[in-house]
Amino acid sequence: MSNAPVVMLAGQDLVLAHHEHQVVHGVSVELAPGTVTALVGPNGSGKSTVLRSLARLHKPKQGEVRLGDRQVWRGSALSGKEFARNVTLLTQQRPTPSGVSVEDVVGYGRHPYRTGWRGTDPDGAAAVARAMAMTGVAEMAGRGVDELSGGELQRVWLASCLAQETGVLLLDEPTNHLDLRYQVEILDVVRDLATDHSVAVGVVLHDLDHAAIIADRVVLLSQGKALASGTVKEVLTAQHLTEAYGVVVHVADDPVTGTLHCRPVGRHTPRV
């Protein structure tokens, strides 16, 4: 990620709709260089829709998205390639190409940098190698992606995003389909990108403990609105989470990691 530009991406007062049904109501999110911002909240709260708007895939009905000092949606001179050299998105659903190797799929991330009719990219091979090493897929470089498990394929698509070497990385449930080992490794990679490479990371997470571990800032969405926004300890409180999720949530410091541990309390949850 040594070539990644340092840039801020921000959405201000975003109003977003699916057809005529408004699903996000005036949400603001700021992704700063070197910072991991987690978007959390119940299903249907608008997390992924906000992320897609920041990625220039869902046009706001109101509000604006800015990359640095330039508007993304209105009056922007940003070409698709220029935007893609600054911002990349890992979505939840991606196709599984048939007859394509892992290395080739990771190389898709280099498309914004290819120039000329031959598509030359002098830095491409090194960027692809770095991305595969960071995500632990280098040993399967020659395998067809249609032979992989869901978790392996998720890591390959993440590697493709990293090969794009952008200053802003948007991730929609990056630990989905991964076993415990790779959940931890992917979260470590995300944290390293922010800390060591000044990447601005926006990540949608369902696991509140994952958010507590890697995030600098958290936006808690509920019914399309930002119920709370701030540091982990400011946002992940028992009061906020109980209100957002409609179930009692206990929050305490984890004795092993020192980070917050969020535990929903159901009828059969053991009490001490």
What residue spans define the domains of the chain? Answer: 1-86+167-179+198-272, 97-165
How many other C-beta atoms are found inside a 10 Å radius of the C-beta of residue 125? Answer: 12
Looking at residue 77, its pLDDT comes to 63
Q: What tokens does 124 get?
A: 């491409």
- State mean pLDDT over 90-112: 89
Over 90: is that where the pLDDT of 201 sits?
Answer: yes
CATH 3.30.428.10 for domain 1-86+167-179+198-272, yes or no, is no
199: burial class by Cβ within 10 Å (0-12, 13-18, 19+)? buried
Runs of H (alpha helix) within 39-179: 47-54, 80-84, 102-107, 124-135, 150-163
Over 60: is that where the pLDDT of 203 sits?
Answer: yes
Looking at residue 20, its pLDDT comes to 85
- State mean pLDDT over 86-109: 90
pLDDT tens-digit readout, 55-84: 999 999 999 999 998 888 776 667 888 899
272: burial class by Cβ within 10 Å (0-12, 13-18, 19+)? exposed
pTM for the model stands at 0.92
pLDDT tens-digit readout, 209-262: 999 999 999 999 999 999 999 999 999 999 999 999 999 999 999 988 889 999
- State mean pLDDT over 165-176: 93
User: Measuring CA to CA, which residue among 24, 32, 84, 37 is closest to residue 214?
Assistant: 37
Q: How confident is the model at residue 271 (pLDDT cuts 50, 70, 90)?
A: low
Over 80: is that where the pLDDT of 1 sits?
Answer: no
pLDDT tens-digit readout, 10-57: 999 999 998 889 999 999 999 999 999 999 999 999 999 999 999 999
Distance CA 200, CA 241 (A): 25
Distance CA 92, CA 45 (A): 16
Q: Residues 92, 176: contact at Cβ < 8 Å?
A: yes
Distance CA 69, CA 59 (A): 18
Question: Ramachandran region of residue 226, left (φ > 0), alpha (ψ -120 to 50) or beta?
Answer: beta
How many other C-beta atoms are found inside a 10 Å radius of the C-beta of residue 256? Answer: 7
